[in-house]
Structure 1
Amino acid sequence: MTSSADSVLDTQTLADYLQAQVEGFRGPLTATKFKGGQSNPTYRIDAASGRYVLRRKPPGKLLASAHAVEREYRVLQALQGSAVAVAQPLHLCEDDSVIGSAFYLMSFVPGRVHWDPALPDATPEQRTFYYHRAVDTLIALAQLDVAACGLADYGKPGNYFVRQIARWSEQYRASETETLVAMDRLIEALPAAAPADDGRIALVHGDFRLDNLMWSDSGELLAVVDWELSTLGHPLADLGYYCMALRLPRNPVLPGLASLQRDSLGIPDEAALLGRFGTATGLDPGDAWPFHLAFHFFRLAAIAQGVMKRALQGNASSEQALAAGRMAGTIAQMGWEVLDRGAAK
């Protein structure tokens, strides 16, 4: 990961606190903010006792239920020893007085993040492997027994998409800075387009994309990171979000894959990814696939709008926050187009 020095954390206070709360932790420490992270600021902690990672809520006034580091910590605990690789959680601090907001400490995973989904440094064979391995993780999530790992009450069961549309419509309205016609259309049309609930329940990551996966140099998937948006939902949810990258435009803020010759690059198309997932899980979105894509464009646009609002308020985590926020309109328009075309077929 690329990182830059950060001077926000009171490292002496943090070191004293962690030394008292975390077994084996010894200061002093330095904190270096990782690249990326439009939402929860993330830091590499280098201490006398070793290297760790800290994720915190951003400072300032936040939207209700947003930046839930407590939920991230619970998921990391639940997934220990499962088929879904994650870092080891070490300590959760809900006392804002320590560093100014709630945070948690986890183990440092010495892996690599591929920020560009085109994987420019990989061979076609390697790209195919990475994309298939990611889908295999989605399969593991879909097959996870949420009750057995202690997450039966992690979210409301049933009607996931309808509830998510309502939630993100509220979040979008709370952070709205200008009128986006496509978002208004999606907010109106998506509830009626949602497929009937089939009763399936799974742990949904909520932001499952290639740059939230950490890999070893040999290609082993070491950890799935950034569980802030996780909840109980439908097992097809993460698949739709993951496939959205195939349609997003290529630009510095959202490095999608839409304009690339994916066949020659070895990047599987939607049909191949859906087929691999469906063969293992028995789930096929069928005619509802346009809805799944449109829903995730809508949701991503709402997230981008939240980033814009925080940037205008001066408490966004990334230097690219304003640029990311300005993508909300483009993303929403893509969502409306795919839903409109699907509805016309």
Structure 2
Amino acid sequence: MKNYTTVVGFILMGLSNNHHVNILLFVVLLVVFLLAVIGNITVVTLSLVDHRLQSPMYFFLRNFSLLEICFTFVIMPRFLYSLLTERKSVSVPGCFLQLLLFFLLGSCIFFHVGLMSFDRYMAICHPLRYSTIMNGRVCFQLVLSCWVMSFLLIVPPVFMVVLLPFCGPNIINHFYCDVAALLQLSCMETGHIEVMIYVSATVILVGTLTVTIISYGCIISTIMRIPSTTGRRKTFSTCSAHLLVVVIVYSSSIFRYIRSSQRGTRDFDKIVSFLYSVLAQLFSPYIYSLRNEQVKQALKDACGKAFPKWLRLS
């Protein structure tokens, strides 16, 4: 198929056309962006330099945080720039690159969520066999398989979207280059691509959600048998925080991408997309990592070495 693209760029409408609202959004989202990046960089740095954070759990968390950093940079800098300057145009290659990276990294994040829930299941339900089964080679293979599965499921439908002819109009009713809006702008039948997207989204979302639900179900069953009330409460607190992120990310993503028609973007879709592409990225490092007691102790020790005089004065 030849690429008969006639448009030279797309216009991203964003979340609002009001200048004052956009300035307010810029300030709020800049803070969210910085907190998300700082939180994830902190997790990556601590897991690399602290000897206590060398278990498989922190290996997966480190990779998860790296994915979150890359995913955040796919959307937020361009979005913040458009809010500040009100320049909403994006080139066709730039739009397609953002589309590819958004879905490739996003799907890999979902696979990592399922992988981390399985890791917690092994650690809590099979503690004696955990270190033997989850060795370094297996952990590396599991992370690599997340990337391979994401590539195989995402690249074919995105490649088909790239080959579509776009003859105008070129206005995308979204704050990033979303596949639904691009399908609507194409001047060619896109039914076969919609089916591919639906199948890929179902495999990624339903598959990883199933692994997550089964893993946490087994974890909760094991927790209920813990004799100590304090131990049960502490573990439940951690699991409930993890499940909150899972509920937000999966519910919004399933609503957005597992439906009969993949064409078109409604205003409500932008709000749903905002939940999993922006807000979830802020909460993830703090809920998955920085609430962990070992991570908090490692952070405290690192701050003590970096700012000893300031800590003594305080």
Question: TM-score if structure 1 supplies the norm length?
Answer: 0.28
Compare the two structures and name the one with the higher helix fraction.
2
Which fold has the larger relative contact order, with Cα–Cα distance below 8 Å and residues 6 or more apart in sequence?
2
Superposition TM-score, scaled by structure 2 size = 0.30
